[in-house]
Each structure stands twice: as C-alpha cells, then as structure tokens.
Structure 1
C-alpha cells in the first residue's frame, strides 16, 4: 500500500429557483444566492443558478438542463400548497428513483423551527447520476434545508458515480 488517499471528488451543483415573480423581474431572487452560499461554503462548485416561473413543464425542463453537467441540483420554491406549487410533481416527472430520507430529514429538522414545515411537499431523487433536492423558496428555509443535507452530498455523489459503500 502506498498510503495515499484517493483524490477528493469535486462536487458540481446547479440551482434552480422556481418563482414566477423573480423570473419576471418583479423582485430579485434571494433564495438562490442563499443556497449558493451554503454550497460554496462547503466547498461545492456552483455552476450557476437558473430562475424559472412556476409551472410543471418549465420546471421539469430546467431540472433536466441542470442535470446535464451537475452532480447535485437544488431547486428552491414551488414546494408548498399553492395551486401553482408543482415543483415536486415536476421533479417526479424527471427522476428515476426517489431518495425519501433527504426530504424526511429536511422536514424533521425544519419542524423543530416552525410547524409550517409540515406543509412542505419537497422531494429528493436521482436522475441518471445526478441528485435532485427540492427545498423551500424562502431564503431562510432554503438555507436551513440545504444545511440539513450538506454533510451527505459528497457521499451521495460518490455513490452515484459507483463509488464504494
């Protein structure tokens, strides 16, 4: 044995902000930058943020596009109960398998902060070799949610790349 360790894999992420008003320029996207700060702070390379309006087809397309070169895609927004909140459905349309533990952990941790966490419908899943995670659209909720899962993202990406258990 040489005693050397394998080179650490660089995790690449994309962010998809789902907000009709932010995509129309009514106000600035603040949740996307909050997610980016957490990811970058953990050493994850953020390749960019896309802002799209609410709507199942558009969100699905944005997730597909983001998965082309990212190991992790974090969506923020569209996870509530408003009739236009269809991010979980759009995500299910494009993933191959769900990873329910991530969404469960986010909700469980968030429930200690606010009872409104019970109303979040976010999911997580895998599209080919990319992990997709839905988080809330508020900057605070998005940041707190990403902080819940940040510690397992590297291992998840390694597993998706067929790394050892």
Structure 2
C-alpha cells in the first residue's frame, strides 16, 4: 500500500529562527491524524516569511517530494511580511477561492477580525495547496470546514484516494 504524502509548511520568521516552538504545524498534524485513516506521512518544514522561499518550498513539496496535499500555516494576514497567499497563487495552475471564503465564514463565527485573513487554495499540477491561519484553534476550525471537500478534490485532480475516519469527519463524494 502506498503512503500518501502531505506537506505541512509553517511560514513564520520567529519559528524558523527557533525563537518559539511551532505549535501550528503540530496542530495540522494532529487534525490530520484524527481525520485520515489511510496510511500517510508528513513532509514537515518551517520557513521564514519570504515569498521566494515559500514559492520554492511549495514547488519542492509538490514536484520533488510528491505531496498530493500541502497545508500552509501563517503568513495570511494583512501585514507587509504576510505573503503566503501571493506565493501560493504564483505556483498554482488553478485557484480555488471557495476554500478561503468558507474558512473566513467559519472563523467569523468566533472573531470579527476573520475578514482580515487572506487564506486561499489552489492546484499545482496534481497537488492541492491550502493556506490556513496561524492560530492552532483556528487551524482546527478551518480544516474541519474545508476537509469534507478535500478527498474528492484530490480524486479529481490527481487520482489520489484518501480514506477518512467517518466518526471524526464526514466527507462528500458524489455517487
């Protein structure tokens, strides 16, 4: 049985320098362990908020590492250093704005500043790239909102089949 590769990319100047521990990337891993029953492994990296480094890393995770899915965390706000969405758009062939729209809608239930977040998603060749916020609580909420569409999206774009723990997450696959 093949192991599904999923990229987990934390974009943070301070975490990349070891100033603080990356708890956001670990939260993505925890959520995926709850949701995915297929054999999977992560390709995990922490990098600074530099657009060229983000683009290069996304390209490597997709094209060389063979990740069918990449989750980024961090760099989606309105500050000058927040460039993850721009990097994602530059490496993708197709954008899927519905992911960001749904994540912001979900986050608005909890905080009015969710409208400041610029998460997005797109397809690079056969890889789905999803930008998540940087806060662990928001990460879980946002993945929970969009994950029901992810397995079917991966089947459509690359033929990847991800099985899920139906007691933890209900996914949609048309019949």
Distance 1:99 1:46 in 2: 24
Match of 1:21 in 2: 14
Match of 1:135 in 2: 132
Q: Is the 8 A contact 2:68 2:158 kept in 1?
A: no
* Residue 36 in structure 1 maps to residue 29 in structure 2: yes
- 1:78-117 equivalence runs, <5 A: 78-117=75-114
Q: Per the alignment, do residues 148 and 46 of structure 1 end up closer, same or farther by CA in structure 2, a change over 3 Å counting?
A: farther
Q: Is the 8 A contact 1:125 1:132 kept in 2?
A: yes
> What are the ranges of 5 or more consecutive residues in structure 2 without an aligned counterpart?
161-172
Give a deviation string over 1:119-141, Cα, whole Å, max 9, x none: 00111000000000001111111
Match of 2:148 in 1: 151
Give a deviation string over 1:27-53, Cα, whole Å, max 9, x none: 110000001111121116232210000
Question: For 1:132, what is the secondary structure of its paired residue?
Answer: strand
- 1:69-80 equivalence runs, <5 A: 69-80=66-77
Deviation at 1:161, TM superposition (A): 2.1
Superposed structure 1 runs of 4+ greater than 6 Å apart:
none
> What are the ranges of 5 or more consecutive residues in structure 1 without an aligned counterpart?
1-6
Q: Is the 8 A contact 1:38 1:143 kept in 2?
A: yes
Match of 1:65 in 2: 60
Q: Per the alignment, do residues 143 and 46 of structure 1 end up closer, same or farther by CA in structure 2, a change over 3 Å counting?
A: farther
Question: For 1:50, what is the secondary structure of its paired residue?
Answer: strand
CA RMSD in angstroms, aligned pairs only: 2.0
Give a deviation string over 1:34-83, Cα, whole Å, max 9, x none: 01111121116232210000011011111111113111100000000111
Question: For 1:70, what is the secondary structure of its paired residue?
Answer: coil
- Give the paired residue count: 158
